[in-house]
Chain A
Amino acid sequence: MVNRKLVKFLSFRYIILSIVFIVLAGGLVVLPKFEKQEGIEPEKLLADAISPERYISTDVLADRMINQDPTLLLIDLRTAEDYNKYALPNAINIPIENIFSKDYEGYLNQVEYDVVLYSNDNFKADQAWILCKRLDYKNLRVLKGGINKWYSTIINPEKPTELMASKAFDLYSFRKAASMYFGVAYPQKETEKRVVAKAKPKVTTTAKVVVPKKKKKKMPVEGGC
């Protein structure tokens, strides 16, 4: 038993399929177009923007710098003039107007380093952070308080009063030691200064000592077999 209606319908199958194709393709042309969202989604951007994790404190930064963290990449967003007056060691100067210029894109749009953005306070750095985060750049942090905070905490730490908790004293001693590392001299402690002065060359000498040690290690190697 052949279903005649079906046979008749199926004899037009190629024409029907062609019409389906053209309608589908035409639908693509007719569909209302909208601008596509580039970079990360707005919800995610907002969630990251209000998260305190996007900040790095001056103390944590100082600690990582002193320990010579190789993943750290400091980016100075101030003008070149300010940068030449004072900048954090090994910072790269990218004025905020130039963050999207091709010369600097490689520093910001990468995954190898932890980028720390800073400016005089965290205002410009926040702007740059939002702009870069919007494009889904990874591993971006903002130095909380910027250079001003750096001065008031690391370079010139405030001495805690006697009534403060012992943690405050620990923090103060850390900050003071850090400031010595970053080159601040304390004239009231001449004796300590000498020690520091001696300690600094020691660092370099130990670094130099390492090289001959390696050579010594190479010496006893003999052609065994």
Chain B
Amino acid sequence: MPISLEKIGFKTLKLKIMGPLIPNDIIPFEWNSIIAIVIGIFFGFILEASGFSSSRKLAGVFYGYDFAVLKVFFTAAIVSLIGLLYMDYLGYVDMSRLYVHPTYLWGAIIGGAVMGIGFVTGGFCPGTSLCAVAIGKIDAIVNVIGIMIGIFIFSELFTFFEPIYNGYFQGNITLMDSLDVNPYWFVFILTVVAILMFAASDLIRKRVKKVFY
């Protein structure tokens, strides 16, 4: 006869809700796209509401008159990092099951450089350009057409780019894996560095001639 768990002093098993919600089947997989659309709508709304659909604001980082982009994205990264580590610590999220973007080293470096040049010259990153198209900015429309042309050229020359695109694969690594540092100290130092950077960017902004836009 099987022994019941209660008799030997164990509590009955409870369904433990632990993130990530979709990989752990707490939210069915089919909701994936719907949730993505809802999050996308809010993301676009907040981008537009905080003025990120203006190419002048975005390009301000490079000319030193507006550091909102730097501050927003760094703050977002730090908030999510600290939040995830706390939730992992308390057992609400299983960090090992989160999706980690794979690293293709040289592809990322070259792609990042190309994207950076596009960012300076166009004043948009792909997400904000679509956001700006939604409110009817002509420069954003031109930018999106440029993106499409870029995609077309890339796909036509894909066989030529493929060794870089698929090469130098490092796996799904994080900075903590590759540097082999304690994640908690890393996040703490990153936070301090980010705040110092925000302070420094404020100092720079005060010295640079103000631009009205």
- Which residues in A have some Cβ–Cβ distance to B below 8 Å? 14, 18, 21-22, 24-29, 31, 43-44, 46-47, 50-52
Contacts and interface: CB of A to CB of B under 8 A. Distances in A.
Given A21-B82, A50-B3, A29 B188 contact: yes
Contacts of B13: 43-44, 47
7 closest A-B pairs by beta carbon, nearest first, are: A25-B191, A28-B184, A25-B188, A18-B195, A29-B184, A29-B188, A24-B82
Contacts of A27: 86
A31 B86 CA distance: 10
Interface string B35-59: 0000000000000000000000000
Contact of B188 (A14, A28, A43): A28
B82 A28 contact: yes
Contacts of A26: 188
B191 A47 contact: no
A51 B2 contact: yes
B85 interface: yes
Interface residues of B, number: 22
Interface of B: 2-3, 5, 8, 10-11, 13, 78, 82, 85-86, 89, 184-185, 187-188, 190-192, 194-195, 198
Contacts of B8: 46
B198 A47 contact: no
Given A28-B184, A28-B187, A46 B195 contact: no
B5 A47 contact: yes
B2 A22 contact: no
A28 B195 contact: no
B95 to A, nearest CB: 10
Most B CB within 10 A of own CB, among A29, A51, A52: A29
A153 B198 CA distance: 77
B79 to A, nearest CB: 8
B78 A50 contact: no
A22 B184 contact: no
Contacts of A51: 2
B89 A31 contact: yes
Candidate in B3, B8, B187, B195 with the most chain A CB atoms within 10 angstroms: B195
A21 B191 contact: yes
